[in-house]
Amino acid sequence: MENFQYTYLLGNLLALPLWVYLFIHRKDCRKEILIASFCVGILAVLWAPWFLRDYWRPEYIHASFFKNWRLGGGEDFLYGFFLGGIANVIYEEIFGKHFCKRRDRKHHWSWFLIPFFALFFLVFGLPLYFGINSIYAALISFLILGLFMLYFRRDLFWDSLASGLLVGLLTLFGYLIFLALFPGVIHQWWLLPNLSGTFIMGVPIEELLWAFGVGMVAGPFYEFFMGLKFRKR
C-alpha cells in the first residue's frame, strides 16, 4: 500500500494555474468566479461524508478533521473551490462571451431556492433512504437542477451544455496528469466494486460524468441566479 497522504492536495493544485489565469484574464467575471468557487467549495466539504461512505476513500493530510466533525477536509474545499470557479466561467472564456448590463427581471433569483433544496434532498436523501450510491444520486441531482434552470432560461442551454463538456474534458486531461504522477491511486482510493467498472483512459466514467454535471449546473448558475444575459454579437 503506497502512501498517498499528500496526493489529494497535490492533485488539486493541478487546477490552480487555470483558475488563476481565468481570474486574472477575465476581470469582468471575478465576482462570478469567487462566488462560484466559495459556494462549490463549501458544498464539497458538506458533501464529503456521503461520498466517503460508498464512493471513495481519499487520504487527507489531517484525517482527524473529518472524523471529529463529520465534514470534509481542506482538500475537499480546494477541489470544490477550483472546480466551481473554472466551471462557472470556462464557457465565457472559450467562446468570448460577455454579459450585457441589462438584467432579466422576469426570472428572479428566488426561483433558485426550490432546486437548491431539491439538490440537497436528492444528494443526501436518496443514498440514505433508498440505498443509491452517492455518486449516482449526485448525478440525478445535477440533471434535475440543470433541467429546472433551463426550463426557465432556455437561452442558457448552450452555456450549460458547453460548460459540462469543457469541464469534463479538462477533468479527463487533469486525471491523465494525475495518474501519471500517482499511478495506482484509483484502485487504492475508489470503491470500484460499487461503481459501473467502466473506465475512459484509466479514469472511472463516474468521475467524468460528475465533472460534466458540475459544469452543466455551475456554468449557467450565476447567470440564472443574477438574471444576466449574454450580449448578442
Beta bridge partners of 203: 200
- Predicted model pTM: 0.87
Instruction: Note the pLDDT of residue 98.
Output: 73
- CA 6, CA 9: separation in Å to the nearest integer? 5
Other C-beta atoms closer than 10 Å to the C-beta of 216 total 27
Give the number of C-alpha atoms closer than 13 A to the C-alpha of residue 86, restricted to the C-beta side. 27
Instruction: Note the pLDDT of residue 190.
Output: 95
Give the number of C-alpha atoms closer than 13 A to the C-alpha of residue 88, restricted to the C-beta side. 30
Give residue-wise pLDDT tens across range 78-92.
999 999 999 999 998
Cβ proximity of 92 and 98 under 8 Å = yes
pLDDT: which is higher, 121 or 41: 41
Give the number of C-alpha atoms closer than 13 A to the C-alpha of residue 31, restricted to the C-beta side. 5
Q: Which three cell numbers stand for residue 98?
A: 460577455
**Residue that is written with C-alpha cell 467562446 in the block:** 95
Indicate the pLDDT class of residue 71, thresholds 50, 70 and 90: low
> What is the rounded average pLDDT of the residues 97-106?
61
Single-letter amino acid, residue 96: G
Q: Does the pLDDT of residue 22 top 90, yes or no?
A: yes
Q: Which three cell numbers stand for residue 27?
A: 476581470
Q: 202: phi > 0 → left, psi -120 to 50 → alpha, else beta; which?
A: left
